[in-house]
Amino acid sequence: MRPYFELSIKKAPQSESSSSKQAQNSADGYSFLVDIWKRLERFLILGSEGGTYYATERKHTKENAEAVIECIKDDGVRVVTKIIEISKNGRSHKNSPALFAMALAISLGNNEIKDLVVKTLPNVARTGTHLFEFVNYAKTNRGWGRSLKRAVSNWYTSKNLNDLVYQTLKYRQRNGWTHQDCMRLAHPLFPIDDVTPVYVKWLFRNDNNAVGGLNNDLLQSYIKLQDCTESGAVELIQGCKDISWEMLPTQFLKSTKVWGALLEHLPLTALLRNLGKLTLLGVLKPLMKETEFVSNLLTNKEILKKSRLHPLSIFVALRTYKNGKSRGGLEWTPVSTIEESLEEAFYLSFDNVIPTNKRILLALDVSGSMSWGNVLGVENFTPREASGLMAMLIARTEKNHQFMAFGHKLMPLNISSKDSIETVTHKIDNLDFGGTDCSLPMIWALENKIPVDCFVVLTDCETWAGDIHPHQALVEYRNKMNIQAKLVVVGMTSNNFTIADPDDGGMMDVVGFDTSTPTIINDFIRD
């Protein structure tokens, strides 16, 4: 790779286009204008079409999905194809926007579009929970029409017996819907010679005798689980790895032995979510073999790599576990071995982050309010800790970076790839510059002729200080430096934070800070 300051830049005045993605604006200059198809893509990836990602759940309505509706009217087949592409490739960090858009397509589209949704729904609604969410959106938009019945029916009939058993037993209900409700309204027709109708009959009537001859280990184990001893449950779980904790009868949900048996089958993500419960129930104790098993699992490089877990996800699990209590009210005494393993897993997981290889200037708000309160979207996180973690991520994964501290003024911040989260936060603990001016990074980079591909600004409040708006400072930087730089502003505690020009594809707001935020920012910078 060539040195930082020698990277090639296509130079052109703002009066001329420097990219095929640009268009002429009202001021006779060229910028990255966002058409309805780009807005559709934003909605599917971010959950909003105006360039804002919300860390907390937001209710999707027709009113805030105008671009989706316009695109359906223009070319609904293209819309459904785009939904499938983004959802299957994992570009959308929440599947809700994709499911909502599919519901709009089947509600508002013509017969060709409806047929395509019917055919492809299983590609987007990949779990029973996804199906319930789709049904809820579709029913709200139009009700139970013929096309919705066909789509739901196809979701069930497209699955073999093993898949259907797993989906219906693990994801039994959500949003007020059950599989019995959906099937009762959709009337799925299975092949006459198929054994699946036998299972469906059991699902409705719970007649165990009717499925006695079905060759399905999970179903037979599930039936036995409902009426067996604790030791019997352990034996069943050991013999059938597909049994998940969601399938357990109520009497076993607090059983130490049963959860101990489940331990070996838990996916890494599920394990992280349940570490507190496992400790509370006594499955994880000092010097126990179960604790050693979990410790080895958490620090296994190959398993971590396959899991693709982001360091932030592990750090949140570490912070929650060390805190000794969950949002649901569970309390436990942390086991030091598990804490140490989580911390090691955190540092090992940096190998899971794909660098953008772009030139990034990260500006951290160091006003006093950053040191207190909670980040919107993550428990037990102050804005300062979240910004320190983001700085640490960039320092360890990106070669071309610059860190700045700002309030009403700006200064360089010395953060290296060798810093821990503790040392990073310590470096910014004693800095307090007062007011917040998010335009300062662009102004400083322009004044000092620093080439930047993306400015990332982390703050706890809306920008208010300064003589120029951030988006205006960005445009001026692009104009004078001939670099089509991007801007990301993360308002970690703001509910209505927005500075991005909705017609500029190079600007993005983030409201809150959750485990998906770093990945979303990376994808935006890389795109």
Q: How far is CA 135 from CA 51, 168, 185, 281, 432, in A?
A: 27, 15, 11, 37, 50
Place of tokens 């800070």: 513
- Whether 28 is in a domain gets the answer no
In this prediction the pTM is 0.87
Three-class HEC string of 285-340? CCCCHHHHHHHHHHCCHHHHHHHCCCHHHHHHHHHHHHHCECCCCCECCCCHHHHH
Phi, then psi, of 364 in degrees rounded to 5:
-105, 125
- The reply to whether 18 falls in a domain is no
The beta-strand segments (E) located in 138-238 are 173-174, 177-178
User: What's the rounded Cα separation, in Å, for the pair 6 and 413?
Assistant: 23
More confident residue, 69 or 407: 69
Same domain for 177 and 135? yes
**Residue 515, amino acid:** T
**Mean pLDDT value of segment 324-344:** 94
pLDDT of residue 409: 79
* CA distances for 346 relative to 12, 236, 300, 311, 422, angstroms: 43, 34, 12, 5, 13
* pLDDT band per the 50, 70, 90 thresholds, residue 337: very high
**pLDDT tens figures, 89-113:** 888 889 999 999 999 999 999 999 9
Same domain (yes/no): 98, 76? yes
Of the listed ranges 256-260, 304-308, 429-433, the one predicted with least confidence:
429-433
Say yes or no: 235 and 301 in one domain: no
Q: How confident is the model at residue 433 (pLDDT cuts 50, 70, 90)?
A: low
Say what the alpha-carbon torsion angle 331, 336, 338, 344 is, to the nearest 10 degrees.
130
Helices (H), 172-214: 179-186, 196-205
Domain boundary among 264, 280, 297: 264
Same domain, 196 and 329: no
User: With 90 as the cut, is the pLDDT of residue 431 above it?
Assistant: no
Element (H, E) at 163: helix 161-170
Dist CA 132 CA 170 (whole Å): 13
Q: How far is CA 279 from CA 16, 303, 346, 396, 419, in A?
A: 63, 22, 20, 32, 30
pLDDT of residue 407: 73
pLDDT tens by residue, 508-525 = 988 888 989 999 999 999
The reply to whether 301 and 314 lie within a common domain is: yes
- Asked whether the predicted pLDDT for residue 181 surpasses 90, the reply is yes
The total of structural domains in the chain comes to: 4
Mean pLDDT along residues 372-384: 77
Least Cα distance to 165 among 100, 221, 85 occurs for 221
Q: For 49, how many CA atoms within 13 A lie in the half-sphere containing its CB?
A: 21
| pLDDT value of position 5 | 28
User: Which pLDDT value is given to residue 505?
Assistant: 86
Q: Under DSSP, is residue 227 helix (H, G, I), strand (E, B) or coil?
A: coil
Domain endpoint, select from 352, 368, 401: 352
* The pLDDT of residue 217 is above 80: yes
pLDDT of 340 higher than 80: yes
Looking at residue 18, its pLDDT comes to 46
- Residue 218 and residue 241 in contact, taking contact as beta carbons nearer than 8 Å: no
Please determine, for residue 10, whether its predicted confidence score (pLDDT) is greater than 60: no
Q: Is residue 438 part of a domain?
A: yes
Task: Confirm if 484 and 18 have CB atoms less than 8 A apart.
Answer: yes
3-8 own/partner pairs: CB under 8 Å, 24+ apart: 4/359, 4/399, 4/400, 4/451, 5/451, 7/359, 7/451
For residue 497, which of 31, 48, 94 has the smallest C-alpha distance? Answer: 48
Say if residues 95 and 137 touch (Cβ distance below 8 Å): no
Query: Considering the domain boundaries, does residue 4 fall inside one?
Result: no
- pLDDT given at position 494: 67
Q: Are 343 and 315 in contact (CB under 8 A)?
A: no
Residues 485 and 402 occupy one common structural domain: yes
State yes or no: pLDDT of 463 exceeds 60.
Answer: no
**Of 456 and 193, the one with more pLDDT:** 456
Residue 24: its pLDDT value, please? 58
Encode pLDDT of 305-331 as tens digits. 999 999 999 999 999 999 999 888 899
Eight-state DSSP code of residue 254: T
Specify the residue for token string 């060709």: 112
Percentage of the chain surpassing pLDDT 70?
88
Show which of 208, 226, 248 is a domain's final residue. Answer: 208
pLDDT band at 2 (very low <50, low <70, confident <90, very high): very low
Q: Is the pLDDT of residue 503 over 60?
A: yes
My answer on whether 249 and 390 are in the same domain is: no
CB 334 within 8 A of CB 322: yes
Q: Is residue 58 domain-shared with residue 193, that is, in the same domain? A: yes
Q: Is 84 strand, coil or helix?
A: helix
Residue 27 in domain: no
Say whether pLDDT at 466 is over 70.
no
Q: What are phi and psi of 216, to 5 degrees?
A: -145, 110
Per-residue pLDDT band at 23 (split at 50, 70, 90): low
Domain that holds residue 434: 356-526
Question: What is the pLDDT confidence band of residue 4, given thresholds at 50, 70 and 90?
Answer: very low
Give CA–CA dist 143/128, Å, rounded: 20
* Mean per-residue pLDDT, 462-471: 68
Give the chain's mean pLDDT: 87
- Is 50 exceeded by the pLDDT of residue 429? yes
Query: 52 has which bridge partners?
Result: 509
Q: Are residues 259 and 271 in the same domain?
A: no
Q: Which of 85, 181, 80, 86 is nearest to 131 (CA)?
A: 181
Measured CA angle at 48 (ends 365, 490), to 5 deg? 5
pLDDT in tens, 397-408: 999 999 998 877
Distance, first Cα to last Cα, the chain: 20
What's the confidence (pLDDT) of residue 144? Answer: 85
On whether both 423 and 522 belong to a single domain, the answer is yes
Q: How far apart are CA 118 and CA 310, in angstroms?
A: 34
Mark whether 340 and 387 lie in a shared domain.
no
Closest alpha carbon to 461 in 496, 434, 494, 498: 494
Q: For position 420, which CATH number holds? A: 3.40.50.410
Indicate if 95 and 223 belong to the same structural domain.
no
283 pLDDT exceeds 60? yes
**Least reliable range by pLDDT among 17-21, 171-175, 245-249, 326-330:** 17-21
Spell out the residues 6+ positions from residue 337 whose beta carbon is closer than 8 angstroms to its own.
Answer: 286, 291, 292, 295
- For residue 14, being part of any structural domain is answered with no
Among candidate residues 216, 169, 179, 214, the one with its CA nearest the CA of residue 195: 214
Residue 17 falls within a domain, yes or no?
no
7 in a structural domain: no
